[in-house]
């Protein structure tokens, strides 16, 4: 009997396939393939795009901080007849980092990431890794939430700068070949290739814009560089990587970038809305405790008593589920909805209070820090231009200038407020913020003295820079 059972088992294991069992298909999917990629595709892409890719380095200048005064400065002041500032622990300019950008117009307009230039006092641009020419760039506009910034360099006389052509990200397909350009870890004009891995990656912690995912290698230093298609058109701006894995990089779609470029160039920033509320998330346990089921939203945890939220009638622990027509599932949703709302106009908000839904009208204000940025960017000083095409301007210090630049309150000597790029003054090492003590061995007390003592040919200036006295030689053209 035991032998018979064993035999049945063995037979059942080798039983033939029945019609009821699934037969897997063997035919490959039908593909609509275009012409094969030419062997020199990426060679040609490198030749076409690399000239427009630039290396960006940023520097933060030392800030004046209060501290104990060094008694040795008293002796130096008597020697030089000039009140000197207290030296700080870090007086040298601080190198902040390296990044990438790409020129989009012949006049030197450059796209990069906001995080590449954020906090920088000086932005330097090199057109190629080995180039000895360094252009000092001007910040035109920036936006933290989209991580896009515009900077500009001034071409030399007769110079035509190469530029990249902006394409469209609307029709980008998953699996499409792409190339990423940049300066990873300072290695200039590096190029990597890959494909579009996914579209519309919604990573709100990184960017409010859904991103393009690619497996083209993106590393620190690539930020701000172009992601291009096989036609050599820019379809994205390299922005971030997933540090947990290899081959997961993200780029900001170029269509989104193009939509904000005019605003950044004309206004310098994207105005963001503000309601004056601190936010939290409604987690599942709290929702269940309140009997709200699967309702989600942003919880008001605190408010500015002078802010729009408080004035609208919102209360602490209100749960915002909709704002300006957008569904709110968490605090990030509400932050984006408020930021994108028209400033100065009422926005309808749906809130849950004591398990009851109600509607409120909130007049969205402009975020205060944006106003301060605008004021700082718009502030300029008019001085007297040096003669003989020396390329710098000076002015007598005003109380406002002393306060903003951290100058001693009793200082009267003129201050350099502008140096022209590639000018005699710039080549001689004169910088904005230098205090002029004498010109050609003649003491100066004001701007008129500086202009009077300058001459054609060689000029020697004694200047004060932070706590150092330096000699600058400038030769008029």
CA distance 122 to 113: 16
pLDDT at 157: 84
Which parts of the chain sit beneath pLDDT 70? 1-22, 24-29, 31, 33, 61-97, 203-208, 242-245, 289, 368-380, 406, 408-410, 421-422, 466-469, 477
Question: Which pLDDT tens digit goes with each residue over 143-173?
Answer: 888 889 999 998 888 888 999 999 999 889 9
Q: Which helix (H) or strand (E) holds 356?
A: strand 356-363
pLDDT at 1: 44
pLDDT at 200: 76
Q: How far is CA 236 from CA 51, 186, 224, in A?
A: 17, 21, 9
Instruction: Work out the widest C-alpha separation in the chain, in whole angstroms.
Output: 124
Q: Where are the alpha helices (DSSP H) in 423-477?
A: 424-428, 447-453
- Tokens describing residue 122: 């000086």
Confirm if 159 and 281 have CB atoms less than 8 A apart.
no
Q: What is the DSSP letter of 179?
A: E
Task: Decide if domain 380-475 falls under CATH 3.40.50.970.
Answer: no
Which amino acids are annotated catalytic?
A: 115, 147, 223
Q: Where are the alpha helices (DSSP H) in 14-130?
A: 41-49, 72-80, 114-117
pLDDT at 83: 53
CATH assignment, 273-366: 2.30.42.10
Closest CA to 151 of 110, 99, 123, 120: 110
pLDDT at 27: 66
Q: For residue 5, count other CB atoms closer than 10 A to its CB.
A: 9
- Tokens describing residue 197: 């891995």
Q: Which fold has domain 47-152?
A: Thrombin, subunit H (2.40.10)
CA distance 58 to 113: 13
Confirm if 402 and 413 have CB atoms less than 8 A apart.
no
Confirm if 392 and 439 have CB atoms less than 8 A apart.
no
pLDDT at 102: 94
pLDDT at 204: 61
The ranges assigned to domains in the chain are 47-152, 165-267, 273-366, 380-475
Residues 6+ apart with CB under 8 A from 367: 271, 272, 273, 274, 339
- Please identify which residue in the block is written with the tokens 């060689």: 458
273-366: same fold as 165-267? Answer: no
Q: Which fold has domain 165-267?
A: Thrombin, subunit H (2.40.10)
């Amino acid at each position: 009997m035991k032998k018979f059972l064993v035999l049945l088992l063995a037979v059942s294991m080798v039983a033939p396939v029945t019609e009821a069992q699934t037969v897997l298909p063997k035919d490959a999917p039908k593909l609509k393939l275009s012409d094969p990629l030419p062997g020199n595709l990426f060679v040609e892409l490198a030749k076409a795009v690399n000239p427009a890719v630039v290396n960006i380095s940023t520097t933060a200048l030392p800030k004046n901080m209060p501290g104990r005064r060094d008694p040795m400065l008293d002796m130096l002041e008597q020697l030089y007849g000039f009140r000197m500032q207290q030296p700080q622990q870090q007086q040298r300019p601080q190198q902040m980092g390296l990044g990438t950008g790409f020129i989009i117009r012949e006049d030197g307009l450059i796209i990069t990431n906001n995080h590449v230039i954020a906090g920088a006092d000086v932005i330097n641009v090199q057109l190629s890794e080995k180039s000895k020419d360094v252009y000092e760039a001007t910040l035109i506009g920036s936006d933290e939430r989209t991580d896009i910034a515009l900077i500009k360099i001034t071409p030399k006389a007769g110079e035509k700068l190469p530029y990249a052509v902006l394409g469209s990200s609307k029709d980008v397909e998953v699996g499409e070949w792409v190339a990423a350009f940049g300066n990873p870890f300072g290695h200039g004009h590096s190029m990597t290739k890959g494909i579009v891995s996914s579209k519309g990656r919604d990573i709100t912690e990184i960017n409010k814009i859904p991103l393009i995912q690619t497996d083209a290698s993106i590393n620190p230093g690539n930020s701000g560089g172009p992601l291009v298609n096989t036609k050599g058109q820019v379809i994205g701006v390299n922005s971030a990587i997933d540090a947990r894995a290899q081959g997961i990089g993200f780029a900001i779609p170029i269509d989104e970038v193009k939509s904000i470029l005019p605003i950044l160039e004309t206004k310098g920033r994207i105005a963001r809305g503000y309601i004056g509320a601190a936010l939290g998330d409604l987690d599942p346990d709290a929702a269940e405790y309140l009997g709200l089921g699967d309702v989600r939203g942003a919880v008001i945890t605190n408010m500015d008593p002078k802010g729009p939220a408080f004035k609208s009638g919102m209360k602490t622990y209100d749960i915002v589920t909709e704002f300006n027509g957008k569904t709110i599932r968490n605090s990030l949703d509400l932050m984006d909805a408020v930021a994108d709302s028209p400033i100065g106009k009422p926005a309808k908000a749906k809130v849950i209070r004591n398990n009851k839904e109600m509607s409120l009208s909130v007049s969205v204000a402009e975020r205060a820090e944006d106003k301060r940025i605008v004021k700082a960017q718009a502030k300029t000083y008019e001085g007297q231009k040096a003669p003989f095409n020396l390329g710098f301007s000076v002015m007598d210090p005003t109380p406002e200038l002393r306060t903003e630049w951290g100058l001693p309150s009793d200082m009267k000597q003129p201050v350099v407020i502008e140096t022209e790029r590639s000018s005699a003054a710039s080549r001689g090492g004169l910088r904005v913020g230098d205090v002029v003590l004498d010109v050609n061995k003649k003491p100066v007390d004001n701007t008129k003295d500086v202009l009077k003592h300058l001459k054609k040919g060689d000029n020697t200036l004694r200047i004060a820079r932070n706590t150092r006295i330096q000699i600058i030689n400038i030769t008029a053209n």
